Amino acid sequence: MLLGGCCAPLILAAPTTAAFTGLSTESRTNEFGITVISLYANFDEKDDQLISVSGTPLAPLSISVIDGTFYQHAFGSDRAPIDAMLPGFPSLAYDTFVTIGVELFGPTGQSEDLSFTLPTWPGFGPSSLMTVSSGWVALPGSAQAFPFNPDFAAGDGRTLIAQLATLDGSGFEGSMLIQSMSGGLPGITYASFTHVVPTPGTLMLLGLAGLAIRRRRR
């Protein structure tokens, strides 16, 4: 749980076959000392589509840094970074942003068919993104909406929905509505995640525990 995060989906809509299976996180390393995770929505059917990530008054969208603030590059935005800017600003690759399937935008990256829903898009604050009336959506049928499309996904049903970064936080947590389609039927799920970054002391304890286990086996 410490290393990989933990996620708990809660089904809100029963009449659906949508195969959203939950959220997952993955750490990304870099040379700038920025703590970065990729946040994925996971699916298990080839024809599944991820439509939107959003919040409502009954099911708010909330993403926060634990004990810190988001890293937000001066030349970044709430969308995936532009590939042409990375040679001059390499740390832009580790900016905080939301997406559906697109990790890098531009000719050498990917095309983007993403819009923010109305009435307002709040954007990332210093340490949180919160909304009860907005979100981000891929246009129906767009290539980036398909979790098994190798141009926009890892081919294993994971679709990137956010990259979260911090220089001073100890982790990330959040909850949101995931709207999807499977077998031609709509589905909506309220899901949450927590990803805690191990401290150096925790990593040392884990290493000592592993050493003790190896000694016992011998």
Cα–Cα distance measured from residue 114 to residue 79, given in angstroms and rounded to the nearest whole number: 9
Which residues, at least 6 apart from 42, have a Cβ–Cβ distance to it below 8 Å? 20, 21, 22, 23, 24, 147, 157, 158, 159
Question: What does the DSSP assignment read for 113-175?
Answer: -EEEPSS------SSEEEESS-EEEEPTT-GGG-TT-TTTS-SSSEEEEEEEEESS-SEEEEE
Cα–Cα distance measured from residue 45 to residue 48, given in angstroms and rounded to the nearest whole number: 5
pLDDT for res 170: 96
pLDDT in tens, 5-24: 444 444 444 444 458 999 99
Q: Which of 173, 168, 178 has its CA nearest to residue 135?
A: 178
Where are the chain's structural domains? 6-217
pLDDT for res 109: 73
- pTM, two decimals, is 0.83
Cβ atoms of 148 and 73 closer than 8 Å: no
pLDDT in tens, 160-185: 999 999 999 999 999 999 999 988 88
Cα–Cα distance measured from residue 48 to residue 157, given in angstroms and rounded to the nearest whole number: 9
Cα–Cα distance measured from residue 44 to residue 72, given in angstroms and rounded to the nearest whole number: 32
Owner of token pair 């909304």: 131
